[in-house]
């Protein structure tokens, strides 16, 4: 299946989408991105993701000469050009081609779609604690240096991802938000995190059925939790069964929220822009 990409106003074969070596994203890692999924030709929570993409651009001082309608229309075209029922759509915006290798110029805007699959819900995840705080956590930047450098250790431990903590406070995983459940209460960190779109919808769903708290979460809170799960576009609601030497069951609240999110996605798909008939 031929793959396509969008680059600075043009849709072209993915193999032809190239950046010059002076791009500030390559030279300094100066850029942002967002990622969401399309199911059966329909983008899920697209407006939430475009909100966050635009907010990240604003906070990074990136200004592209395109409207949201332009972005949306080209996302739809990329989805139409792919045959897969489940796609991950990535949007990227860098600081542009920089003559001095430091100063941002006209941004480069890119998008591409790639098929993926969800891991089985009951598979569970194993996490490794890592003392770290994401830089500019309120922005979805290109900087994933820290979690990538520990990939060899993750492989040795047969762990799926890291869980960041600093000064005894837990924040997030490298690509997901964290929730814990204790005595029937759903709890998620409030500071030092990227505000995930899936997190946003899980909070709304949880507040209808459970007591919810958005507050600092300590290492002790995590260690003593009844249930732990991560949320994200490619994970949906993913139960965590182990963090270092602590083990957790796949609980009823985690499973309930997973099924509620599936129902929410189905409703979103019905009202989403119709891509195929």
The pLDDT-based confidence of 274 (bands split at 50, 70, 90) is very low
The pLDDT-based confidence of 28 (bands split at 50, 70, 90) is very high
The pLDDT-based confidence of 277 (bands split at 50, 70, 90) is very low
pLDDT digits (tens, 9 = 90+) for 190-239: 999 999 999 999 999 999 999 999 999 999 999 999 999 999 999 999 99
Stretch 78-97: mean pLDDT, rounded? 95
Domains of the chain as residue ranges with CATH: 4-115 (3.30.470.10), 121-265 (3.20.10.10)
Q: What is the DSSP string of 100-154?
A: TSSS--SPEEEEEEEE--PPPGGG-EEEEEEE---TTTTS-BS--HHHHHTHHHH
Q: How far apart are the first and last CA of the chain?
A: 21
Q: What is the pTM assigned to this prediction?
A: 0.95
pLDDT at 271: 74
pLDDT digits (tens, 9 = 90+) for 136-192: 999 999 999 999 999 999 999 999 999 999 999 999 999 999 999 999 999 999 999
């Amino acid at each position: 299946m031929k793959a396509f990409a969008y680059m600075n106003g043009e849709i072209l074969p993915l193999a032809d989408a190239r950046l010059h070596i002076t791009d500030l994203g390559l030279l300094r890692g100066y850029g942002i991105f967002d990622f969401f999924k399309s199911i059966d030709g329909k983008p899920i929570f697209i407006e939430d993701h475009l909100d966050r993409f635009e907010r990240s651009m604003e906070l990074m001082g990136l200004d592209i000469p395109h409207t949201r309608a332009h972005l949306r229309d080209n996302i739809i075209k990329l989805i139409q050009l792919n045959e897969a029922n489940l796609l991950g759509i990535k949007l990227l915006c860098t600081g542009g081609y920089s003559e001095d290798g430091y100063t941002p110029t006209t941004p480069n805007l890119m998008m591409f779609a790639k098929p993926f699959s969800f891991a089985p819900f009951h598979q569970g995840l194993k996490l490794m604690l890592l003392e770290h705080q994401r830089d500019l956590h309120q922005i979805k930047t290109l900087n994933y240096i820290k979690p990538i450098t520990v990939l060899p250790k993750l492989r040795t431990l047969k762990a799926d991802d890291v869980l960041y903590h600093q000064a005894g406070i837990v924040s997030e995983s490298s690509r997901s938000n964290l929730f814990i459940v204790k005595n029937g209460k759903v709890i998620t960190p409030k500071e030092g995190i990227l505000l995930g779109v899936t997190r946003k919808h899980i909070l709304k769903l949880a507040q209808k059925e459970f007591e919810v708290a958005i507050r600092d979460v300590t290492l002790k809170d995590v260690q003593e939790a009844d249930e732990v799960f991560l949320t994200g576009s490619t994970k949906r609601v993913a139960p965590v069964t182990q963090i270092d030497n602590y083990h957790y069951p796949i609980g009823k609240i985690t499973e309930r929220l997973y099924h509620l999110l599936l129902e929410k996605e189905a409703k979103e798909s019905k009202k989403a822009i119709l891509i195929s008939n």
